[in-house]
Amino acid sequence: MKIAGSTALVTGANRGFGRHLAAELVARGATVYAAARRPETIDLPGVTPVRLDITDPASVAAAAALANDVTLLVNNAGTDTHADVLDADHLDRVRLEMETHYFGTLSMVQAFAPVIAGNGGGSILNILSVLSWISLPASGAYSAAKSAEWALTNALRGKLAEQNVRVAGLHVGYMDTDMAAHVTQPKSDPAEIARIAVDAIEADAYEVVADDISRKVQAGLAGGVAALYPNLP
């Protein structure tokens, strides 16, 4: 896929990693729809702001009707509620994680895959996480939702390949964004991860493992529970 001359829609583009992705695409010559629930918060030059709530089917349908020239969809919008999976009072927050990362992503793909195919084909990039492969005690709900999104990404590849729509997933650890402001561990530069992601789209990659921690966890998957959770008694 050639980024220059393509038309992209990036969800959650008003801040954080989504804003960096939109900026990278603009810099490489793409026409970019920058989508957010509050489009008035989008301050990136050179993009077209779009109002979009990926958990609202009517909002998704309206965005697909408006951005009907898209050849690249980047599903970046997300949430991290810090829900405790064992706390019954947090069940609504757990559901929000799934509604956003799994059902929201699925809704976007259902709406935009026909658009991309009708425009001659293109790509979809789902922003996943190293936490789709491993779960931490404080991020169980987020990890479960990202793991579901990873499984969805795998399922979509074969379904859409025959329509000339490639589906890729990006795995990355903590990035230096507002969502990870509370994290004290090392964090990647989101601008650099955006560059890696866009390079991978242009190279027609199906999977992007963008940092050392993601590569380490991916390598540990074959070792099962003992390799991924060595501190279990």
183/35 Cα distance (integer angstroms): 26
pLDDT at 180: 58
pLDDT category of residue 36 using cuts at 50, 70 and 90: very high
- Across the chain, what does the average pLDDT equal? 94
Supply the DSSP string of 138-167, one letter for each residue: GGHHHHHHHHHHHHHHHHHHHHHHTTTEEE
pLDDT at 93 over 80: yes
Residue closest to 197 by CA, chosen among 12, 15, 23: 23
- The structure's pTM equals 0.94
pLDDT at 70: 98
81/79 Cα distance (integer angstroms): 6
26/33 Cα distance (integer angstroms): 10
pLDDT digits (tens, 9 = 90+) for 193-214: 999 999 999 999 999 999 999 9
pLDDT at 183: 65
pLDDT digits (tens, 9 = 90+) for 140-195: 999 999 999 999 999 999 999 999 999 999 999 988 776 655 766 777 899 999 99
pLDDT category of residue 32 using cuts at 50, 70 and 90: very high
pLDDT at 177: 72
pLDDT at 80: 86
pLDDT at 81: 87
pLDDT category of residue 8 using cuts at 50, 70 and 90: very high
Rounded to an integer, the average pLDDT of 90-107 is 96
pLDDT digits (tens, 9 = 90+) for 104-132: 999 999 999 999 999 999 999 999 999 99
pLDDT category of residue 134 using cuts at 50, 70 and 90: very high
For a pLDDT cut of 90, what percent of the chain falls above it?
89
pLDDT at 92 over 80: yes
The total of other beta-carbon atoms located within 10 Å of residue 182's CB is: 8
